[in-house]
Amino acid sequence: MGIADEFLAEGTRFAALNTHAGHRRRAVRVDLLDQPWGDTAYPFWLSIPQYATERILEDHLNALGGEVEWQTTLDRLQDNGDHVEATLTRADGEDEGVRARWVVGADGGRSRVREQVGLRLDRADAGATFILADVKTSANLTEDEGHVFLHPAGLLLIVPMPQPRRWRIIAHVPTPPVGAPLTIDAPLLDDLIRERSGIEFGSHDVVWESQFNLSHGVADHYRRGRVFLTGDAAHVHSPVGGQGLNTGVQDAHNLLWKLGLARRMDAEPAERLLDSYEAERRPVGHAMVRGTAQVTRILTTRGSLIRTVVGAMAPRVIRRSAVQARLGRNVGMLEIAYPDSPIVPAAAVAAGAGRRMPNPELRSGGRLYERLDRTAHTWVVRGSTDEAAPDRNHPRWKGIPLVHVSNEALLRHVDGVAQVTLVRPDRYIAAAGDTPESVWSQVDGRLIPTSDVVAGPPATSD
């Protein structure tokens, strides 16, 4: 999207995560900046408040000519086969009819879009209540390190936020009686933090707070006709792991380039391409929900004895280098792949198809992703000669951009990259091989719209 710098400016980099199992025990510290992140340009966790994320995305939408219509509700949605019709109610109470080629439901866990098209998201009650709060502290804590406290009374997370001395508090608490929610204020937070961490936190300036009963679930489908689900409309889960927003953004990233290309395709290949959205993303959502549910169940198990045992065992597990390594690339979602996708050729999986294209640094400056097209497929050819490069006037792939990268530049952090790679707009490998012809023979060319306009000269990086 080209707005990474805006997120970096608004967020704070997570340098380390400290896991505590008792006031007197030494914490297990994981240096997040020293993990095997590999080729990514962003080898760290970034902590950023939701309101900042929303503002950055809305500003970018506005810059592109779009607009968020606040205080507007969806009343009715109907898929008519060749288009979708919706009735909206605006802030002034007036109804508005909308006709669209497709509708994307990104309207949260209680999705009206999902309900209108008859899709289900069956929630499993996790039997746990969490509170969240953004608060300032008078305690002297290292401001780029997070803390996890495993206490018999319940889980406590203290996460750094961008402003000085501001922290996000996440805590598992006893479920309050129905109709009697907790009052989340500075005294409650101070008492809870003191009990579970021994820290005199000195809470003040609570600018945001929330509480919710935890549930897990995945929609039965991510697509019905011309309607798609993304984000919390498609999957809901525990905040443990901080994967919800990231997964939703990846849903949208996977879907939107396909919608963009489908507009230029015949009906049958367009349907095949759009079907691949659910095929690729629903298994990711299901695995994420299953994993966070298991971890949350362990960390919120009823009974102080069990929690004490978990608190004693967890630091031993976290000390293992293999476990710590997962806190880098895996939590960063850099290892997600789509080998079983219907648009990923099975014969090309061994050569990398369905995996994220590496993003190494280049000798000429910058990284590979900066050379790739964001709205179309891109050829990436190793070496600086034209021997393996596709003929850019060939009618089968005319107009597809080409990037030449020297072996030294591309292989600085990456092994096993094919001589010729066709990269999707979402930076995943469509197919790979030794020649353009061998690569093109693996894919359905109807899924890759070409152009009558010959692309400009290749972007070289040597």
For residue 209, what are the β-bridge partners? 133
Least confident of 66-70, 288-292, 383-387: 383-387
CA-based nearest residue to 86, from 112, 63, 67: 112
What lies within 8 Å, CB to CB, of 128 at 6+ separation is 172, 175, 213, 214, 296, 300
Query: Domain locations in the chain?
Result: 346-461
Task: Output the pLDDT for position 97.
Answer: 96
Instruction: Give the pLDDT band of residue 454 (cuts 50, 70, 90).
Output: very low
pLDDT reading at 405 higher than 90: no
Does the pLDDT value for residue 257 go beyond 50?
Answer: yes
**What pLDDT is recorded for position 29?**
87
pLDDT confidence band for 342 (50 / 70 / 90): very high
**Which is higher by pLDDT, 346 or 302?**
346
**In angstroms, rounded to a whole number, what is the distance separating the alpha carbons of residues 221 and 244?**
18
Do the Cβ atoms of 411 and 417 come closer than 8 Å?
yes
Looking at residue 319, its pLDDT comes to 66
For residue 219, the one-letter residue type is A
- H/E element, 270: helix 267-299
Residues 4, 9: Cα–Cα separation, whole Å? 9
Strand pairing partners for 218? 235
108, 128, 79: which is closest to 219 by C-alpha? 108
Which of 128-137, 169-178, 294-303 shows the highest mean pLDDT? 128-137
Does the pLDDT at position 124 exceed 90?
Answer: no
Q: How confident is the model at residue 393 (pLDDT cuts 50, 70, 90)?
A: confident
Is 0.85 surpassed by the pTM of this model?
A: yes
Under DSSP, the state recorded for 123 is P
What pLDDT, on a 0 to 100 scale, did the predictor assign at position 176?
A: 80
User: In this predicted structure, what is the pLDDT of residue 39?
Assistant: 85
Over residues 12-25, the pLDDT tens digits come to 998 999 988 866 66
d(CA 375, CA 263): 12
Average pLDDT over residues 122-131: 86
- The tokens describing 182, both together, are 């907790």
Give 459's pLDDT tier (boundaries 50, 70, 90). Answer: low
On whether the CB atoms of residues 368 and 358 are closer than 8 A, the answer is: yes
Taking residues 106-132, what's their average pLDDT?
92
Lowest mean pLDDT across 31-40, 301-310, 359-368: 301-310
Do the beta carbons of residue 101 and residue 263 sit within 8 Å? yes
Yes or no: say if 432 and 421 are a contact pair by the CB < 8 Å rule. Answer: yes
3-state secondary structure of 367: strand
**Cα-Cα-Cα-Cα dihedral of 177, 183, 184, 190, to 10°?**
-100
Q: Are residues 422 and 433 in contact, defined by beta-carbon separation less than 8 angstroms?
A: no
- Residues 221-235: pLDDT tens digits? 999 999 999 999 999
CA distance 403 to 460: 6
Amino acid at 409: A
How long, in residues, is the chain? Answer: 462
CATH number of 346-461: 3.40.30
The angle at the Cα of 123, spanning 219 to 105, to the nearest 5 degrees, equals: 35
How large is the average pLDDT for residues 188-217?
92
270-299: pLDDT as tens digits: 999 999 999 999 999 999 999 888 888 877
Determine the pLDDT at residue 131.
92
The model's confidence at residue 332, banded by pLDDT at 50, 70 and 90, is confident
Question: CB neighbours (10 Å) of residue 104?
Answer: 19
Q: What percent of the chain has pLDDT over 90?
A: 49
